[in-house]
Amino acid sequence: MSDTDTDELEQMSEEEKAMMSEWENMAGDDDSAGDDAGGEEAVPDFDSTFGGQEDGATRILNQDEIDSLLGFDDDLDGGNETSGVMALINSAMVNYERLPMLDIVFDRLVRLMSTSLRNLTSDNVEVSLDQVSTVRFGDYMNSIPLPAMLSVFKAEEWDNHGLLVTDSALIYSIVDVLLGGRKGTPAIRVEGRPYTTIETKLVERMIHVALSDLSSAFDPLSPVSFGLERMETNPRFATITQSGNACVLARLRVDMGDRGGRVEILIPYATLEPIRELLLQMFMGEKFGRDSIWENHLTQELYQTEVQLQAVLGEKTVSLNDLLNWEKGTRVIFNTFTDDELELRCGDFPMFKGPVGQKQGNIAVQIDKYIAPVNEEND
């Protein structure tokens, strides 16, 4: 150590010396902890934080684990699913309310389409529902595998549109089946050319059947008619809503022996807005707490309830001074004549009007008119 360093140490205050000794003690504790853990110095870093520790040693994530964490895993089905950090981000971005009745509607659609496509193709057709999810319209349009056929349909009663996407495998399978292709042989797929008029017309028949079944699936909930407007092969020409709007996506799988493909139905939330309250129900016919049995019982009991009716022979308004001057024998004259109709009241509410008379020696009032209740809000 040089003379200059010695002079600087002598000039340090007692407080600085105490701080230096404290730091030396802390460093010594860290060294002893590292020796006990396996002889290595325990220095926290990014790898140990995210990779964990095994047997006291730090483990570094490999490239596959990093891709899986960030959601870039290529092993996922179709390459459209996300996981890890991207899944958390997407779930936060597309966070819309759950519509329980849609699951029931699409379950009905699966059963109806299975029967309808069997009648159309005269083949053993199995339709299954893969999933019902929520996506943004722009993200879905960018993820459509081409070539595909996009059918724009309109819900007449809701005055809005939806999208039905048929993939290439199902298009060639339907064409092969309807034109008499033999069973057990896969459909021939010709890529790199647009669909012919014959192929488009054959697929259009299947789409009409699917839209008719979709209308039938919604009928118990709310009657609606889905009509095909146009068919496109370019996603840019099938835009039915803004790219940031949320949509309900139902993925259906159609199997015809060794052939088949996918049908995807995309319905924007704006299209479902007219029946949103119905779709929020947990089961068909839900009344949110109303009990019809108790209502009917209460109605029957009310019909048997006895009420008091008062016949008002006359009314007159007098001042308090005149009322205080009344004595025994004071005569009060009302402006009521024998041929006037009397008013019958239940409490303070007027109910009926009718002429007065006598029956079996008693004064009687015949109910002739019903007095409708007055709406206090409009007064």
User: For 248, phi and psi rounded to 5 degrees?
Assistant: -95, 125
Q: Tens of pLDDT along 175-184?
A: 888 887 766 6
Complete DSSP assignment for 254-314: EEETTEEEEEEEEEEHHHHGGGHHHHT-SSTT--TT--HHHHHHHHHHHHT-----EEE--
Across the range 211-215, mean pLDDT stands at 90
Q: Is the pLDDT of residue 310 over 60?
A: yes
Running DSSP on this structure, what letter comes out for residue 339?
T
Domain 100-279, CATH among 3.20.20.70, 3.40.1550.10, 3.30.70.980, 3.90.950.20: 3.40.1550.10
Residues linked to residue 249 through DSSP beta bridges, in sequence order: 133, 266
CATH number of 306-378: 2.30.330.10
Share of the chain above pLDDT 70, in %: 71
Q: Is the pLDDT of residue 299 over 70?
A: yes
Instruction: State the average pLDDT for the chain.
Output: 76
Share of the chain above pLDDT 90, in %: 2
| Domain ranges (residues) in the chain | 1-44, 100-279, 306-378
Fold match between 100-279 and 306-378?
A: no
Nearest to 165 by CA among 187, 141, 186: 141
Answer yes or no: are the C-beta atoms of 124 and 256 closer than 8 Å. yes
Q: pLDDT at position 288, please?
A: 47
Q: Which residue intervals of 122-230 are DSSP H helices?
A: 137-143, 168-178, 197-218
Q: How many CB atoms lie within 10 A of CB 40?
A: 11
Across the range 287-316, mean pLDDT stands at 79
Q: pLDDT at position 379, please?
A: 47
Across the range 122-132, mean pLDDT stands at 85
- Position 216, amino acid: S
Q: What's the rounded Cα separation, in Å, for the pair 104 and 120?
A: 24
Q: Which residue has the higher pLDDT, 134 or 24?
A: 134
Tell the residue number behind the tokens 């007692």, with chain if given: 14
Q: pLDDT at position 123, please?
A: 81
Q: Is the pLDDT of residue 48 over 50?
A: no
Across the range 318-329, mean pLDDT stands at 86
Across the range 74-101, mean pLDDT stands at 56
Answer yes or no: are the C-beta atoms of 111 and 126 closer than 8 Å. no
Q: pLDDT at position 132, please?
A: 85
